Amino acid sequence: MKPGFLQIDNGKAVAIASIPDLAFDDFRNAALDRVADGAQVVHFFAYKTGQQIRLAVVLRTQHLLVATCDAPHTFPSLTAVCEPFHMFEREIAEQFGLRPEGHPWLKMVRYHANQEGLADIFGNAYEHDIPGNYPYYAVEGEEIHEVAVGPVHAGVIEPGHFRFNCIGERVLHLEIQLGYQHRGVEQLLRAADFKRLPTLAESIAGDTTIGHSLCMAQAVEALSGRAPDAGARIIRTIALELERIANHAGDLGALSGDVAFLPPANYFGRMRGDFLNMTLWICGNRLGKGLVRPGGVLFPITDEDRKVLSGRLNELTPQVAHTIELLFQTSSVRSRFEDCGVVSMADAAKLGLVGPAGRASGLAYDVRRDFPTEQYPHIAIPLSMQTGGDVLSRARIRASEVLQSIAMIQTLLAQPIATECVPPADMTPLAPSSFVVTLNEGWRGELSHCLLTDPAGNIERYKVKDPSFHNWNGLAMALRNTGISDFPLNNKSFNLSYCGFDL
């Protein structure tokens, strides 16, 4: 193993003192070397300890690797050499006012002032609305036209600004500007009262409630040494899979609706409700709010529940299978999906795409297989992978994951292991001067939270990364040379989170 990195496990705390503290140049070279050898970036962020701002990077190969260094005020950009750092460096510049010299596209991420009160890297005063002091990417020419969509959209969706540079119907470039929902989640989590942590984590992105609260719970558990019992692990796994099914089913329906093929749109729309109602049955909330807590779960699954849930799944499985068949057997649907919005494997790797979007482009990465947590080490998870990189591939992956997840839940329901429900307990202080990173495969892909504690056991830095942080640029890439009328279809095939990105 090359020096410079500490190998860590998903959801296991390590002392910050044991993490290699490198000089910046060594840090940069080591990180670039690793990525050149095929490592992917999980986290790259700045944090403040005492008066010193430091950088931490978490990479993944077959293992998770971590290293830190003191952050210079300006540093030679890693992105200039290695694309996967692109968004991370922009985020560091925005959050801490550090300048990555030579960054090819140093643009604000969420449009807020840095937390150090330093001079703004982007020259923004933040009195004006987004984008402030930023001229959008522009294409010039006689027949070029620009279409600006949002931030307020038709339909009940989140705000985001999309700017298409088109020649006729063909999109040359799509620029996506988010940040309209920036709430300062990381700061809130850092300063929050312990009891509020789960509520905050659940509210990062409503459609990924279970995913984010699971990441938070695992991190706190690692730092407090309170592991959940086997029953709780099973329930949490079931909940995460239910979340996946509900979202995938909803999106498959929406994809069908976007090409004006209504029957599957209606059927999937109804079934999404049925799956959400199963989560409702478990914990009283369709999104799973209030279920996952550090140390376990707040609601048990009794034998009676198992019977009900299993019965509902048995009823739904043939319906799901039939509707998937209806969708993919319809040639007019396939002709719309096929070759639409292709992201090549090389591009996907450089953008660091994760989850179904990455697997659709041939990147064989699934946190449930590679860094399993909860009950995943004990169940077989087949890899769903496609190589087309188009809407069809993304849709197929989602369809196959729905069926796999149903089978997984059935397996888990067949294990009648009881659980002690945890009463909300204060687990502070957490282990002092520790570092933990938790990864889970949310339905959009790799979700990760990273916690650092100070010598008193308080949270010093809470870093959240939603898979959307990686994947939004994938959507922009997919739109290149695609008809502008196919944007909604591509958008739905990714269906990324605005609030998960904006934090």
Partner 1 sequence: MQSVVLLVSALLLAPLYSAMILKVKAFFGGKKGPPLLINYYTLIKLFKKGSVYSTSTTLIFKLGPLVSLCTAVMILLFLPIAGHPPLISFNGDIILVIYLMALARFFTIAAALDTASPFEGMGAAREAFFPIICEAALFMMLILFYILTGELNLAAYFAGAQPLGLWQSAGAPLLFVVLALFIVMLTENARVPVDDPATHLELTMIHEVMVLDHSGPDFAFIELGAFYKLFFYATLVARLLCPWTFDVPLLDLIFFFGVLCLVYMAIGVTESVMARYRMDKVPQFVLTSFALVFFATVITLEFIK
Chain CA centroid to CA 251, Å: 16
Segment near partner 1 (CB under 8 A); pick from 87-95, 305-313, 326-334, 425-433: 326-334
Q: Is 148 in the site for partner 1 (CB under 8 A)?
A: yes
Crossing angle of helices 230-258 and 262-283, rounded to 10°? 160
Per-residue CA distances from 419 to 176, 231, 298 (Å): 45, 4, 10
Segment near partner 1 (CB under 8 A); pick from 41-49, 183-191, 325-333, 423-431: 325-333
Number of amino acids touching partner 1 (CB under 8 A): 32
Smallest separation, CB 149 to partner 1 (Å): 7
Identified binder of partner 1 from the candidate list 308, 383, 427, 484, rule CB under 8 A: 484
Identified binder of partner 1 from the candidate list 277, 285, 330, 411, rule CB under 8 A: 330
Smallest separation, CB 484 to partner 1 (Å): 6
Q: Which of residues 167-196 bind partner 1 (CB under 8 A)?
A: 169
Q: Is 398 left (phi over 0), alpha (psi -120 to 50) or beta?
A: alpha
Q: Is 349 helix (H, G, I), strand (E, B) or coil?
A: helix
Smallest separation, CB 485 to partner 1 (Å): 4
For residues 454 and 457, what is the distance between their CA atoms, to the nearest angstrom?
5
Query: In this structure, are residues 274 and 410 in contact, taking their beta carbons and an 8 Å threshold?
Result: no
Q: Is 409 in the site for partner 1 (CB under 8 A)?
A: no
Segment near partner 1 (CB under 8 A); pick from 201-209, 298-306, 335-343, 462-470: 335-343
Fill in the DSSP letter of residue 461.
E
Query: In this structure, are residues 181 and 158 in contact, taking their beta carbons and an 8 Å threshold?
Result: yes
Integer Rg of the chain from CA:
22
Select from 323, 341, 427 the least CA-distant residue to 390.
341
Identified binder of partner 1 from the candidate list 1, 119, 125, 154, rule CB under 8 A: 154
In terms of CB distance, is 138 or 148 closer to partner 1?
148
Sequence-ordered list of residues with C-beta below 8 angstroms from that of 419, at least 6 positions apart, any chain: 229, 230, 231, 232, 234, 235, 296, 297, 300, 301
* Token duo for residue 347: 């591009």
For residues 407 and 412, what is the distance between their CA atoms, to the nearest angstrom?
9
Angle at the Cα of 432 (from 442 to 17), degrees rounded to 5?
Answer: 90
For residues 112 and 262, what is the distance between their CA atoms, to the nearest angstrom?
41
Segment near partner 1 (CB under 8 A); pick from 201-209, 225-233, 238-246, 481-489: 481-489
Query: In this structure, are residues 425 and 295 in contact, taking their beta carbons and an 8 Å threshold?
Result: yes
* Token duo for residue 53: 């701002």
Segment near partner 1 (CB under 8 A); pick from 65-73, 181-189, 214-222, 480-488: 480-488
In terms of CB distance, is 257 or 273 closer to partner 1?
257
x/- site string to partner 1, residues 362 to 401, per CB under 8 A? Answer: ----------------------------------------
Select from 401, 416, 406 the least CA-distant residue to 368.
401
In terms of CB distance, is 141 or 155 closer to partner 1?
155
Smallest separation, CB 318 to partner 1 (Å): 15
The dihedral built from the CA positions of residue 269, 275, 276 and 280, taken in this order, carries a sign that is: positive
Q: What amino acid occupies position 37? A: D
Segment near partner 1 (CB under 8 A); pick from 68-76, 77-85, 148-156, 346-354: 148-156
Q: Is 488 in the site for partner 1 (CB under 8 A)?
A: yes
Q: Which of residues 249-308 bind partner 1 (CB under 8 A)?
A: 256-263, 265-267, 270
Smallest separation, CB 469 to partner 1 (Å): 25
For residues 85 and 88, what is the distance between their CA atoms, to the nearest angstrom?
5
Identified binder of partner 1 from the candidate list 26, 146, 175, 305, rule CB under 8 A: 146
For residues 395 and 254, what is the distance between their CA atoms, to the nearest angstrom?
11
Angle at the Cα of 31 (from 29 to 36), degrees rounded to 5?
Answer: 90
Smallest separation, CB 332 to partner 1 (Å): 4
Segment near partner 1 (CB under 8 A); pick from 15-23, 67-75, 126-134, 484-492: 484-492
In terms of CB distance, is 62 or 332 closer to partner 1?
332
* Token duo for residue 124: 């923004």
Burial level of 152, CB count in 10 A (0-12/13-18/19+)?
exposed
Identified binder of partner 1 from the candidate list 366, 401, 441, 486, rule CB under 8 A: 486
Segment near partner 1 (CB under 8 A); pick from 147-155, 198-206, 232-240, 411-419: 147-155
In terms of CB distance, is 253 or 355 closer to partner 1?
253
Smallest separation, CB 263 to partner 1 (Å): 5
Chain residues in the site for partner 1 (CB under 8 A): 145-149, 154-155, 169, 256-263, 265-267, 270, 330, 332-333, 335-336, 340, 483-488
